[in-house]
Amino acid sequence: MKLTLCSAWMILILSGCRATVEPSVIPENPESMRVLRVGTLYGAHTYMQTNNGATGFDYEMALKFAQYLKIPLKVEVYSDRTRLYRALNNGKIDIIAAGQQETPSRERKYRSSPPLYFVNQVLVYRKGTKKVTSLKNIVEPIDVMANSSFEEQLKQLSSNYPNLKWKKLFGMDNEELLDMINQGEIVYTVADSNIIKVNQRFMPEITKGLTIAEHQPIVWFFKKHHSNRLFSKILDFWNTQIKSATFKFMCEKYFGHVKNFDYVDAKAFIKAFNRVLPRYRPIFKKHAKELDWRKLAAASYQESHWKPKARSFTGVRGMMMLTNQTAKHVGIDNRLDAEQSIKGGAIYLREMIEKLPDAIPERQRMWFALASYNIGIGHVLDAQKLAKQIDLNPNTWRDMKKVLPLLQQRKYYQKTKYGYGRGTQAVHYVDSIRRYYDTLVWLDEKSQHQQVKEQLLAKNNVTGIENMK
């Protein structure tokens, strides 16, 4: 079965009808709730803190739900699934929003929302490991998180594969296990297909193997009893989000640009992050100003792989691959000087952002600006007009990805002001930058956390020595 992400919730919105209404008096009342307490787990797709604030698919949807209820959101992050579900059982949180799969055992214990999206459960091992063609060929135990949907699935499969063995690990999350595969510390684990795609950019040694379960729904969980009013609110909220296409936008934001994985490119980027970027990081930060410096750095890597002397057969040169005309326009006289090139690229990107129509949301303006940087703002404006003509939204990058390639077809471009444009190239360009940016954020945050950890360790060691004196 073909994997679909964020494509089937519309026909499953009525799945909420399966929940029976309890005849007893329900004390919970959303209208009197002072705060929405949401429990989650750390992860790139669920919840994480960055220099620009909190991010994550589940976090953003929970924030929108709290805004729908007109109450503040309080996020409680737990270290493992056992504590997360215990918190829901004990009434410490109202909802679990943590990229969790609906399973038979969870369905018996909890009430689930309509699906947010669907995933496959996939066997994962390190690149170079002998390809597994059947679960019966696995000799080593599969390491999985305790109390996870993966453990439950392996239990079900064991009736057909009596020699199947697994080891459940407590206090670990999916990304930690993937990192252990990447480092060669364990042989096998199981992960959701979307999590693998997201993390392959950071952990290029992980490889997808057999699919052990298809089309698994990712849902939010509520308490089985005393949640009727809150549950009815989530159904209403789901319906409004579908009508406003919020789900599609969120899926595009978190999963739309991670479809293709290039092992060699990912390895090269991580290597450049460690060896090359430290030299230019202060320059990117200096000239980015109000822009996220990591987006500027990601664009520069896409352009030149952070090589100041880079050149193209088209005549563009330098870290930001500026044309002679653009360099003169932004006041740059030496395109091969790294700082001048970065400064010029930042100025030009800001100009593109300012020239874009006001109707484009702030959170998406950078992607439109980067497309303009690549293909020219005239072609982007042409594509926006074309989007209106074919009943697509000209102000969302999700729809513009569909329209820009049409500028290469005569029946479309002959009616535009600026004519033929290499729209497919522009889409690939922007999505590549988005992948580099996400990887850069992950690596940057990980590096900062490691520095803090080392500083605390050094401080504790110094304190220990002083106490010994």
107 class by beta-carbon count within 10 Å (0-12 exposed, 13-18 middle, 19+ buried): middle
351 is catalytic: no
Instruction: Tell me what pLDDT residue 243 has.
Output: 72
Q: Compute the CA torsion angle 130, 189, 176, 203 (nearest 10 deg).
A: 30
Say if residue 127 is in the same domain as residue 61: no
Say if residue 227 is in the same domain as residue 107: yes
Ramachandran angles phi, psi of 50, nearest 5°: -125, 180
Handedness of CA 261, 262, 265, 270 (dihedral sign): positive
Residue with tokens 């060699």: 264
Write out the two tokens for 21. Answer: 């209404």
Instruction: Tell me what pLDDT residue 100 has.
Output: 93
Instruction: Tell me what pLDDT residue 422 has.
Output: 83
> For residue 202, what is the domain's CATH number?
3.40.190.10
Question: d(Cα 229, Cα 27) in Å, to the nearest integer?
Answer: 9
Instruction: Tell me what pLDDT residue 1 has.
Output: 41
Marked catalytic residue, from 303, 351, 362, 454: 303
Say if residue 237 is in the same domain as residue 167: no
Question: d(Cα 132, Cα 130) in Å, to the nearest integer?
Answer: 6
Instruction: Tell me what pLDDT residue 26 has.
Output: 38
What residue type is 370 in one-letter code? L
Closest CA to 172 of 186, 184, 161: 186
Say if residue 96 is in the same domain as residue 207: no
Whole-model pTM over 0.85: no
Question: d(Cα 48, Cα 75) in Å, to the nearest integer?
Answer: 11
Coil, strand, or helix at residue 54? strand
| Segment holding 293, helix H or strand E | helix 293-304
Instruction: Tell me what pLDDT residue 94 has.
Output: 95
Instruction: Tell me what pLDDT residue 197 has.
Output: 80
Q: What is the CB neighbour count within 10 angstroms for residue 275?
A: 10
Say if residue 170 is in the same domain as residue 272: no
Closest CA to 387 of 374, 378, 396: 396
Q: What is the CB neighbour count within 10 angstroms for residue 305?
A: 14
Say if residue 350 is in the same domain as residue 237: no
Say if residue 238 is in the same domain as residue 361: no
Instruction: Tell me what pLDDT residue 463 has.
Output: 54
User: Strand pairing partners for 54?
Assistant: 49
On whether residue 462 sits in a domain, the answer given is no
What residue type is 396 in one-letter code? T
For the chain, state the CA radius of gyration.
25
Instruction: Tell me what pLDDT residue 32 has.
Output: 64
Instruction: Tell me what pLDDT residue 227 has.
Output: 78
Residue with tokens 């100003």: 289
DSSP string, 238-300: HHHHHHTTHHHHHHHHHHTT-S---HHHHHHHHHHHHHTHHHHHHHHHHHHTTS-HHHHHHHH
Say if residue 312 is in the same domain as residue 397: yes
As for how many domains the chain has, the answer is 3
> For residue 393, what is the domain's CATH number?
1.10.530.10
The CA-atom distances, in angstroms, between 56 and each of 34, 49, 66, 323, 337 are 23, 9, 15, 37, 37
On whether residue 394 sits in a domain, the answer given is yes
Instruction: Tell me what pLDDT residue 226 has.
Output: 76
Contact 323, 331 (CB under 8 A): no
391 class by beta-carbon count within 10 Å (0-12 exposed, 13-18 middle, 19+ buried): exposed
Say if residue 124 is in the same domain as residue 49: no
Instruction: Tell me what pLDDT residue 244 has.
Output: 76
Say if residue 65 is in the same domain as residue 196: no
Residue with tokens 């106490």: 467
The CA-atom distances, in angstroms, between 384 and each of 40, 379, 388, 415, 427 are 38, 9, 7, 13, 14
On whether residue 354 sits in a domain, the answer given is yes
Residue with tokens 């926006």: 384
* Domain ranges, residue 179: 119-215
Say if residue 418 is in the same domain as residue 393: yes
Say if residue 225 is in the same domain as residue 108: yes
On whether residue 449 sits in a domain, the answer given is no
Separate counts of helices (H) and strands (E) for the chain: 19, 11
Question: Tens-digit pLDDT profile for the chain (469 aa)?
Answer: 444 445 444 333 333 333 333 333 334 556 567 899 999 988 777 887 765 578 888 999 999 999 999 999 999 988 788 889 999 999 999 999 999 999 999 999 999 999 888 899 999 999 989 888 899 888 899 999 888 899 999 999 999 998 899 999 887 778 788 888 988 999 999 999 888 887 787 788 899 899 999 999 999 999 988 778 898 999 999 888 877 777 777 777 777 655 566 677 888 888 999 999 999 999 999 999 999 999 999 999 999 999 999 887 667 899 999 988 899 999 999 999 999 999 999 999 999 999 999 999 998 999 999 999 988 899 999 999 999 999 999 999 989 999 999 998 888 888 888 888 888 889 989 988 998 998 898 888 777 766 665 666 666 565 555 555 5
Contact 19, 62 (CB under 8 A): no
On whether residue 309 sits in a domain, the answer given is yes
Residues 6+ apart with CB under 8 A from 390: 403
